[in-house]
């Protein structure tokens, strides 16, 4: 059973950032049984209907978005993501006007991360980078907490070159059959890692992924409900190289050894 955790960081004028985490993504900040908050999230386009929250989203990713389940079964957490969006809009507006408030918010968040999530911090379990100003703010927070390893998955391809300049940020391009051509071109141009969402049961539909890529199987392709996951037809039809690229926590199930941290497929820049 995935466990959740949360923390709130007061900023100014009654504004605050909400951070959360779960058993899978806690890395070494906590354990599977006792995760520590280490993620900042926003609403997802699949739930909110607002494309700006996930400007690069595709029909495939919106259709299979796991955040829909979170919004349904943990609405109090999702409501905090919506609060984050409102707070972030204020912070980014302040950053655009170069007021001191934006830097104050960045520093408060960076200091909290350095003190409480020093083993790794994830951007956007839900939501995505909205625009270049948002990407610049993420880069600022990462630079202020420069001893912390950060990671991100994004479909906002135009901001990938900027994010790739951040030395302590692992940039993963989220791809599927809908955006594959543009995503793979961006990965080749920037050196970012490709993370491919396998939404088809036909292994022949998997494109040729470069070394270091990661495959995230959609729900129908996961074997973790089976007594022996390796008997799943989708797994059996993969090549040895493809099996090595599959996210083990998603396919086999999560545990102390099968979660972000012990698995480093996505975590190294």
pLDDT(1) > 60: no
Using pLDDT thresholds of 50, 70 and 90, give the confidence band for residue 74: confident
Question: Which residues, in sequence order, are bridge partners of residue 122?
Answer: 39, 151
Q: How many CB atoms lie within 10 A of CB 204?
A: 6
- Looking at per-residue pLDDT, the higher value among 51 and 224 belongs to 224
Q: What pLDDT is stored for residue 129 in this prediction?
A: 97
**Contact call for residues 201 and 237 (beta carbons, < 8 A):** no
**Domain boundaries, given as residue ranges, for the chain:** 4-199
User: Which residue, among 83, 67, 92, 71, has the nearest Cα to 9 in the 3D structure?
Assistant: 83
Mean pLDDT over 203-228 rounds to 92
CA distance 202 to 234: 7
Q: What pLDDT is stored for residue 12 in this prediction?
A: 80
Tokens of 213: 């890529």
User: Which residue, among 77, 61, 21, has the nearest Cα to 154 in the 3D structure?
Assistant: 61
Residues 172-185 have pLDDT tens digits of: 999 999 999 999 99
**Contact call for residues 164 and 191 (beta carbons, < 8 A):** yes
Mean pLDDT over 199-204 rounds to 77
pLDDT(259) > 80: yes
Q: What pLDDT is stored for residue 96 in this prediction?
A: 59
**Which residue in this structure is represented by tokens 């905090």?**
80
Mean pLDDT over 206-211 rounds to 92
Count Cβ atoms within 10 A of the Cβ of residue 223 and give its class: 0-12 exposed, 13-18 middle, 19 or more buried. buried
Q: What pLDDT is stored for residue 131 in this prediction?
A: 95
Q: What pLDDT is stored for residue 103 in this prediction?
A: 81
Whole-number CA gyration radius for the chain: 18
Q: What pLDDT is stored for residue 105 in this prediction?
A: 87
Query: 157-161, 162-166, 233-237: which has the minimum mean pLDDT?
Result: 233-237
Mean pLDDT over 139-158 rounds to 97
Mean pLDDT over 129-150 rounds to 96
Mean pLDDT over 210-221 rounds to 95
Phi then psi for residue 38, to 5 deg, are -160, 40
| pTM of this structure | 0.94
Arithmetic mean of pLDDT over the chain: 92
Write the CA distances from 93 to 9, 17, 55, 103, 130, integer angstroms.
19, 16, 18, 12, 13
Q: What pLDDT is stored for residue 203 in this prediction?
A: 74
Q: What percent of the chain has pLDDT over 90?
A: 79
Q: What pLDDT is stored for residue 269 in this prediction?
A: 84
- Looking at per-residue pLDDT, the higher value among 96 and 139 belongs to 139
Q: What pLDDT is stored for residue 218 in this prediction?
A: 93
Q: How many CB atoms lie within 10 A of CB 207?
A: 15
Residues 6-40 have pLDDT tens digits of: 999 998 878 999 999 999 999 999 999 999 999 99
pLDDT(88) > 90: yes
Q: What pLDDT is stored for residue 48 in this prediction?
A: 85
**Which residue in this structure is represented by tokens 């809009």?**
89
Q: What pLDDT is stored for residue 99 in this prediction?
A: 56
Q: How far does Cα 45 stand from its chain's mean position?
A: 14
User: What is residue 221's DSSP assignment?
Assistant: G
């Amino acid at each position: 059973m995935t466990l959740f955790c949360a923390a709130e960081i007061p900023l100014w004028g009654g504004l605050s950032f909400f951070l959360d985490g779960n058993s899978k993504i806690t890395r070494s900040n906590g354990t599977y049984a006792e995760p520590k908050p280490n993620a900042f999230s926003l609403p997802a386009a699949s739930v909110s209907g607002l494309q700006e929250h996930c400007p690069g989203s595709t029909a495939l990713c919106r259709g299979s978005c796991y955040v829909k389940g979170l919004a349904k079964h943990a609405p109090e957490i999702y409501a905090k993501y919506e609060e984050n969006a409102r707070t972030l809009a204020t912070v980014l507006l302040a950053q655009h006007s170069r007021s001191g408030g934006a830097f104050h918010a960045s520093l408060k968040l960076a200091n909290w991360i350095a003190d409480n999530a020093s083993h790794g911090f994830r951007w956007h379990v839900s939501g995505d980078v909205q625009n270049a100003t948002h990407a610049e703010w993420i880069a600022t927070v990462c630079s202020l907490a420069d001893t912390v390893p950060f990671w991100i998955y994004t479909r906002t391809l135009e901001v990938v070159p900027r994010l790739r300049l951040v030395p302590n940020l692992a940039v993963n391009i989220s791809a599927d059959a809908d955006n594959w051509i543009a995503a793979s071109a961006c990965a080749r141009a920037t050196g970012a890692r490709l993370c491919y969402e396998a939404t088809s049961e036909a292994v022949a539909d998997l494109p040729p992924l470069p070394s270091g890529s990661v495959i995230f199987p959609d729900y129908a392709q996961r074997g973790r409900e089976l007594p022996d996951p390796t008997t799943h037809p989708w797994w059996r039809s993969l090549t040895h190289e493809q099996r090595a690229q599959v996210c083990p926590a998603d396919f086999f199930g999560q545990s102390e050894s099968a979660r972000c941290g012990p698995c480093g497929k996505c975590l190294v820049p």
